[in-house]
Structure 1
Amino acid sequence: MLFTPPFRGFFLGRTVSLLGSSMAPVALAFAVLDASGRLTDLGVVLAAQMVPQLALLLVGGAVADRMSRRVVLVVTNLGAGVVQGLVAAVLLTGQYRPAVVAGLAFVLGAIEAFASPALRGIVPELVREDDLQKATAVLASARNAVKIAGPAAAGLLVAGAGPGWAIAADALSFLVAAAFLARLPPRTVVPAARRRLLADVRAGWVEFRRIPWVWPMALSYCAINLVNTGPWLVLGPSLTKERDGEAAWGLVLGVRAVGLLVMSVVVVRLVVRHPLRVGTVAGAAGAAGLLALGLGFGTTWSAVCAFVAGLGFAVSGILWETSLQRHVPREALSRVASHDDLLSYAAIPLSQLLVGPAAAVWGGATVALWAGVLFVVAALAPLAVKPVRNLGVHAAGGSRESNSLNGANDCR
C-alpha cells in the first residue's frame, strides 16, 4: 500500500511546502517592484538565489548521501522558514533594502542546494520498489496541482493583504513541512566508509559517469532546458501578446499546467516495461508548445499544443525520476541527482541570456521554431544509446545495493 505512515507524512509535508513555495515568486516579484520599481532589483534578487544553489549542489548531494536525509530535510526546511520569515519581516515593516533582500535570497539558495538532493534521494527509503513510480507520480500530481492553485492564491493574498503576508505564508509552510518531516523514520541505508567531503563529491562524479544510461539522459535534459526555457518564458509572452493579447498567454500556461496534472495522475497506474524508451519519446512532445509559437498558431491551437507539451513533460519527468530511484544505488542517489540538477539548472540562465540576442538577429518566431526542432532532437538523442533503450523496470542481479562507491580506494 502506497500511503503508509512514512510516505503519507512526507507527502503532506512536501505538499504544504510546495504550496508555500509556489506563492513566493509571485509575492517576491510584486514586493520588490512595489518597493523599488526597478526590474534590475528583481533580477539581482533572483540571481542571488540561483548562484549559491548552483555552486553548492554537488556538496549538497554528498551531504545527503553521508547523513540522514530526514535530518537534512528538517534542518533545511527550518532554515528556509527562518529566512523567509526575515524577508516577510523586512517587507511588512517597510524596511526594504535591495542588499538585505538579495542577501537573504542568497542564503535561501544555499539552503535549497542541500534540500534538493535530499528530496530526490529519500523516496526509495519510504516506499517499496514496486511503488516507486506511483509515489513519484503522486508527488508530481501534488506539485502540478499547486502550480495551478499557488500563484492564484498568492495573487489574492497580495491583492488583499500585501506581498509581505504571502512571503510569511511561505515561511509558515516550511515550518509545518519540517514538523511532518521530523516524524519520518531514520535512515535505512548505511553509508559507505566515511571519507572527506570533497572525496565523496568526486566519488559521486565517478558514479555519475559509470552508469551508462544516466549521463546521456542528463545531457539530454540539459540540452532541452537550453533550447526550451528562454524561448518559452521570454518569447512565449511576447509572441502571444502580439497575436492575441496578454490574456492568451495566461490561458496557454493554464492549459499546459492542466496537461501536467492530468498526465501525472494517469502515470500512477501506467505500467511501462522500458521507462526511458517511453519517457524519451513522450518527452519529445514537450516541444509542441514551442513549435506552436514558431508556426504562429492562434490561441486555440497554441493551447492544444501546450496541453500536449504538458502531457509529455509529465511522463518524461516521472519515468526519469523513477528510473534513478530504482537503479541508482541509494547510498549514491543524492550525489547522482545533484549532478543531474546541476546540468539542468546551469542551462536555464544561459538559455535566458541567449534568447534575446538570438531573437534580435533572427526574429522571435524563427528562434522559437528552431528551438522546438532542436528540442525534439535533444529529447530523442538518448535512444541512440543502447543502455537507455534497454533499461527495464527492475535492476538486474541486485545491482541496486552494490556499486563502485563501496570500495575504499575509489575516489557522484
Structure 2
Amino acid sequence: MKLRPVLLVLLLLSGFYYATTHVWSTGSAVPWLHSTASSANSATSKTASLNGPLGAFELTEASAAPAFDSEEQQNIQVYKKALPSVVNITSTAVAFDFFYGPVPQQGQGSGFILDKQGLILTNNHVINNAQRVEVTLSDKHKYKATVMGVDKNHDLALLKINAPNLTPAVLADSQNLIVGQRVYAIGNPFGLSGTMTRGIISAIRSIHGPENNPIEDAIQTDAAVNPGNSGGPLLNSRGEVIGITTLIANNGADQSSGIGFAIPINTAKAVLDDFAKYGRVRRPSLDIVTIPIGPDIAEQLGLPADYGILIDRVMPGGAADKAGLKGGTQRAYQGNTPVMLGGDLIVGMDGQEITSPQDLSAVMNSHRAGDEVTVTIFRGRKKMDLKVQLGDAKDQQGVLGQRT
C-alpha cells in the first residue's frame, strides 16, 4: 500500500518527460495551439487577400468596428453637444503700406452663440479695430456681424448676427471649479475649424490679459490652445461653458505650450448683465492697488494677520480715498517691482474673509457700482471696519453700441 503513492509520482514524472521530449520537440502540439489561437482571433478579425503586380498580400482586418469606451463616449457627447454653438470669427482691418496704399489684414478667432436672436460672445482682441467682422457657423454658413458692445477691461466683445435656427451654448457656474477637473476647448486654431482638445484645469489664478488688463480667477488649463482659439468656449465634461479661451503662455513661441488661460464665465455673465441693464459695463471698484499677503510676507513685515491684501496705493478721489482707506508710505521692492508698504491690510468685506485678490473679486462681483460695503482692515495693530461706497470703473469700462 505504501508503494502506491511512489508509483503514482513516478507515472506522472514519466508522462511529463515524454510530453516535453517528444510532443513539444516534434511540434505536434503546434497545430492544436494554432487552431485555438486562430479560432480566438477569427472572432474579432478576418483575413483579406490582395493580388497585384507586386505579388500577393494578406491583411488582417477587424471584422467589426469596436465599441467606444466610456471615456471616448464622453468626448464624443461633449463635441456633439457643443459644436453647433461654436462659431469662427474673421475680422478685417485696413492697414497702409509704405506708399500709403490700403492693405486689408485679416485675423481669426472663435466665439459661441448666446441666444437664438444671434448674440455671440468672443474676446475683444479678436475684433479690435476691425472694419468688418464675419461669423461662420458650424454648418459653414457665413454672416456679417455687428459689434454690439465691448469691454476692453475684461477683453470681451458682444456680436450679433441675423441667422435662423441657432443653437445657444449652455453656460455653467464657474465659481466652484476644481483643479484636476476635465475640460475641453473647441475653436478655430490656425484656421482649422471645429477642432476640439482636452485637458484638465491646472490652476485658478489671477493674470494679466493681452492689453495688460487684470483677469481675476483665470482658468489655467493644459488643453492645447493655439492662435485662433481666442474667444471660443472652455467646456466642462457636460459640454457646458465654464470659460472663454483667451490667451496662452508661449514663452516667445506662437503656439501651445500646455499653459492656456480662460476668462471665467461668471465674469462674462456680470458683463452681459451690465450691458443689458445699463447699456455699458458698470463694474464696481475700490480704486486701489494691492499686494497679496501670505504667511512669509506677513512675518517679514510684522503684520497682525498672515492673510489678506495690503493696500499699496489709493487712487485720489476714488472710493477707498473717500472712505478714508490708507495706502503705503514706505518704498520697498518685491523682486524688481517697487511697492509701498505701511498701508491698510484688508482682511474682510461684508463679513466674508478676504485672504486673496480672488476672494475680493468674488465679493465684488456680487455688488454694483454705488453699493455700500463694509471693509474690515488692520491699520497697524488695530482692527476696524469702514463703510465704502463702491466706485465705477469708468476709465476701463465697455460701451454698448453698434459698429459694422
- Shorter-chain TM-score category? under 0.3
Q: Which has the higher strand share?
A: 2
Q: Which has the higher helix share?
A: 1
Q: Which has the higher contact order (CA 8 A, sep 6+)?
A: 1
TM-score, normalised via structure 2 length: 0.25
TM-score, normalised via structure 1 length: 0.25
